[in-house]
Chain A
Amino acid sequence: MSTEIAIETRNLCKTFGRRASKRIEAVKHLNLEVRAGQVYGFLGPNGAGKSTTIRMMLDLIHSTAGDVYLYGRHVHRHHEILRRVGTLVEGATFYNFLSGRRNLEVLARTANCYDPRRIEQLLEQVGLAERANQRVKRYSTGMKQRLGLAAALLSDPDLLILDEPTNGLDPGGMHEIRTFIRRLVDEQGKTVFLSSHLLGEVEQVCDRVAIINLGEIVREGAVDELLAGKSTLRVEARPLQRAAEVLRQYWPIVTNETWLTVSASHEDSPHVVRRLVEAGVDVYQVAAQRQTLEEYFLAVVRENGSHA
């Protein structure tokens, strides 16, 4: 991994609304450092401030306080640094009355990087070559998303900021995009800043993640480090409701219709069983399993006072 810092935010804040009663602090003193040459996941529940942060990184929204630097240059004062960035922000939207190819031409010309061969190559790469002359109005959400990815890559950027890039894609398409993102980083040395709700996807593709909640970063680190030693216990017991009540007093839990996932280590297993038996609950199975990023995320978000 490179030592160059692709994205840096310093004390970044954004407040919406002028009147005190309607004021919303969407992002609070956010400090983030994303090194080049990795896939960096940006996670958070709805309304956590992910999109606002991304928009500030792209100079779409002006920060109330603090700064964003891309490759060491202030994004607002040195707008030209955004030439090194490709973006896909909150769902791909285009000029519906133009064809896919024309949309890419418009965006490439706007960025002063128009190259018809590059457009053809990208259309081929995202699987839209055959329908490139069709108006975008007739594209499915998945097709628009693929076109969005092609648009993000038009200028062959060093940094890709992708907000929910697999929205609207079928499982096959999602897998393709994941592989594509990984290849961009591993083979071409690009940096990808990825915001996604699909935590399984993030776990598979990201090197590091930051979890944002209520406008603040609550966890940050390499995926392996965050999940190291974070095992869970899967508990099957009857009555399940009573089991949940008992265990909730001691460990964070996630309930399911048929079992409970308890954020506890393998060493806690006897204690879990003892508590349940003492409370008159029948225990059928207690199995240790490695905690997934999704479980980790839910636990962190709950701990920090919001429901995901």
Chain B
Amino acid sequence: MRNLFRAEWIKIAGNRWVAGCLIWIFPIGAVAFFAVAGLVLALSSSARTGLRQDEVFLWTEQAIGVWNFPNNPVGRLILLGFTAVVFAGEYQWQTWKNVVPRNRRAALILIKFLALGAFVVLAFSLMSALWTAGWAVLTRIADVSYGPRITWAVLQDFGEDYALAAGLAFTSTLIAAGYAALAAMFTRSILGGVIAGFALTFVENLSIVALMLIGWFLDIPRIVHLYRFTPGYNLINVASWINDNAPNTMRPFEESKYSDIVFSDSLGFSVALLALWVFGLIALTVTLFQRQDITS
């Protein structure tokens, strides 16, 4: 399995254009941002004053905040584009025919998911470290405090939240990869995989609107509760638990006769649903791939 993982890693990291434009751009962008911001702060006293009047800067929040990106809709689309290339590429480059006889199909798919998740987590860990260090430099230039003080309790709390945030990004990647893999399997092309994957994500994100309309017109507003079962909602809910220690409260029919409908779910509910989604998508991908004819 270690060899298979390494093979997958070489393929993912070796596609420098795709990995660079869709993943490495974030840590590289962070470095560029801090270089420019540091220069501005160093040269401009008004910028330093402005920063001092800003919010309180906490390294714990900076380090964890970065991990929200893979969970929001835009971040998920970028992850989906990346994972779609990885899955659909095998069809478009006609490389499955070299790979499939060399190992079990289920192992090939499982390792692809694992390597993709690990790759994204590594990139965002780097991004998180750069972001935290970058703000340390900026706050030092502006002479602003950058807490909290490092104590055992702070580290323990931070460690838990950080692990959850990274785990959530990993989960988000696996869900994006699941959509991408299914799209790739049906379209067998990179462009088709990206478009179909985006379509799946859009449908998922916009399903709340569709459910609201159906609920409104048919006067069965409770149908909107189905949205609580989508990955998008649960990713945001878990992120909310990590960042604010509270659920992401959502009232779909605000200021209407159905305003009593509120989504406010526990961390356990969302974690369980996300686990179900990940397991379901991977199982479906493996099952379909096992039965698929590799004709190209």
Contact = CB atoms under 8 A, between A and B. Distances in A.
Given A90-B97, A105-B10, A55 B102 contact: no
A60 B293 contact: yes
Contacts of A110: 3-4, 7, 99, 102-103, 108
A131 B140 CA distance: 50
Instruction: Tell me the interface secondary structure of chain B in the complex.
Output: helix
A239 B98 CA distance: 53
A106 B99 CA distance: 9
Interface string A26-48: 00000000000000000000000
Contacts of B104: 79
Among B15, B99, B101, which residue has the most Cβ atoms of chain A within 10 A?
Answer: B101
B257 interface: no
Interface in A52-67: 55, 58-62
Interface in B1-47: 3-4, 6-7, 10-11, 14-17
A111 B1 CA distance: 10
Contacts of A102: 10, 14
Interface string A107-140: 1011110100000000000000000000000000
B102 A107 contact: yes
A232 interface: no
A198 B79 CA distance: 46
Interface of A: 55, 58-62, 79, 82, 85, 87, 89-90, 93-98, 102, 105-107, 109-112, 114, 151
Contacts of B214: none
B100 A59 contact: yes
A58 B101 contact: yes
Instruction: Tell me the interface secondary structure of chain A in the complex.
Output: loop
A59 B101 contact: yes
A55 B103 contact: no
Contacts of B102: 82, 107, 110-111
Contact of B17 (A58, A97, A107, A109): A97
Nearest to A161: B101
A90 B96 CA distance: 12
A55 B293 CA distance: 9
Contacts of A61: 293-295
B186 interface: no
A93 B7 CA distance: 16
A111 to B, nearest CB: 4
12 contacts: A55-B294, A58-B100, A59-B101, A60-B293, A62-B293, A93-B95, A93-B97, A95-B11, A97-B15, A98-B14, A110-B108, A112-B4
A96 B10 CA distance: 13
A95 B103 CA distance: 18
Given A61-B294, A110-B4, A94 B98 contact: yes
B68 interface: no
Given A55-B294, A62-B293, A98-B14, 8 more contacts: A60-B100, A82-B102, A95-B15, A97-B15, A98-B11, A102-B10, A110-B103, A112-B103
A61 B17 CA distance: 32
A95 B95 contact: yes
Contacts of B4: 109-110, 112
B101 A106 contact: no
A96 B93 contact: yes
Contacts of B11: 95, 98, 106
A93 B93 contact: yes
Contacts of B96: 60
B155 to A, nearest CB: 38
B6 A60 contact: no
A14 to B, nearest CB: 9
Contacts of A109: 3-4, 6-7, 10
A112 B3 contact: yes
B94 interface: yes
B149 interface: no
Among A59, A90, A110, which residue has the most Cβ atoms of chain B within 10 A?
Answer: A110
Contacts of A114: 3
Contacts of A59: 100-101
A28 to B, nearest CB: 17
Nearest to A82: B101
Nearest to B293: A61
A97 B99 contact: no
A61 B10 CA distance: 27
Contact of B7 (A79, A97, A106): A106
Interface string B252-287: 000000000000000000000000000000000000
Nearest to B7: A109
Contacts of B100: 58-60
Nearest to A83: B102
Given A97-B16, A107-B102, A55 B95 contact: no
B93 A87 contact: no
A60 B99 contact: no
A90 B294 CA distance: 12
